[in-house]
């Protein structure tokens, strides 16, 4: 067995990425503090051809060297937009017909494996703040809350890890 060289991975270039059919999923970052987490979300979004990343509230925007450190150029391939508040972003996405899926543990949340995205409708996944989670007002505007079942002692996953798991799952379910 031999590890492949980067040149053997047959990855697309940024121009091809921009024109490629995207997975009908967007990521909404609700007041994410860590620039490394933001960069990681961009990198995962690039990997799964995510349509757009929405940066809301205190979430820092590119260009920033600490975002770039983990994004490794994905801020150039993945489209993004900033909103002063997450609620403003959610209301815009809802008016455009998107399904709002907050990734949060609630009394009515469904497990990720039980959630089926609609191929013909944008699913906007809302990822919450590292400490406070998804804002209550955003949960109230959500169509569904999704949680990743966990068996350990901790109550949550790192937001970048959680985003990667969710995007991988939705990408595989949608297979654009």
For residue 21, being part of any structural domain is answered with: no
Beta strands 144-147 and 110-111 are parallel
Contact criterion met (CB below 8 Å) for 90 and 114: no
For residue 19, being part of any structural domain is answered with: no
Please enumerate in sequence order all residues whose Cβ is within 8 A of that of 134, keeping only pairs 6 or more positions apart, or say none: 30, 102, 103, 104, 126, 127, 128, 142, 145
55-97 residue pLDDT tens? 999 999 999 999 999 999 999 999 999 999 999 999 999 999 9
Q: What is the CATH number of the domain that holds 56?
A: 3.40.1280.10
For residue 26, being part of any structural domain is answered with: no
Please enumerate in sequence order all residues whose Cβ is within 8 A of that of 159, keeping only pairs 6 or more positions apart, or say none: 32, 34, 37, 41, 127, 128, 129, 130
If pLDDT is split at 50, 70 and 90, which confidence band does 6 have?
A: very high
% the chain with pLDDT above 70:
99
* Per-residue confidence (pLDDT) for residue 108, from 0 to 100: 98
For residue 170, being part of any structural domain is answered with: yes
If pLDDT is split at 50, 70 and 90, which confidence band does 137 have?
A: very high
For residue 148, being part of any structural domain is answered with: yes
What is the domain count for the chain? 1
For residue 151, being part of any structural domain is answered with: yes
Q: Residue 134 is part of which domain span?
A: 31-174
Say if residue 161's pLDDT is above 90. Answer: yes
- Distance CA(29)–CA(166), nearest Å, equals 13
Q: Is the pTM of this model over 0.75?
A: yes
* Per-residue confidence (pLDDT) for residue 138, from 0 to 100: 98
For residue 87, being part of any structural domain is answered with: yes
Mean pLDDT of the chain: 97
For residue 12, being part of any structural domain is answered with: no
């Amino acid at each position: 067995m031999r590890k492949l060289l980067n040149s053997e991975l047959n990855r697309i270039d940024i121009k091809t990425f921009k024109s490629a059919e995207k997975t009908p999923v967007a990521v909404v970052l609700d007041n994410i503090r860590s620039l490394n987490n933001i960069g990681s979300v961009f990198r995962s979004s690039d990997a799964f051809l995510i349509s757009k990343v929405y940066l809301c509230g205190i979430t820092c925007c590119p260009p920033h060297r600490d975002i770039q450190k983990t994004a490794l150029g994905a801020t150039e391939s993945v489209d993004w937009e900033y909103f002063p508040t997450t609620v403003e972003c959610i209301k815009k996405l809802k008016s455009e017909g998107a399904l709002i899926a907050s990734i949060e543990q609630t009394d009515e949340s469904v497990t990720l494996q039980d959630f089926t995205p609609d191929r013909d409708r944008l699913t906007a996944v809302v990822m919450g703040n590292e400490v406070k989670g998804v804002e209550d007002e955003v949960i109230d505007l959500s169509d569904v809350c999704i949680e990743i079942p966990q068996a350990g002692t901790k109550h949550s996953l790192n937001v970048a890890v959680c985003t990667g798991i969710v995007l991988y799952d939705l990408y595989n379910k949608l297979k654009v």
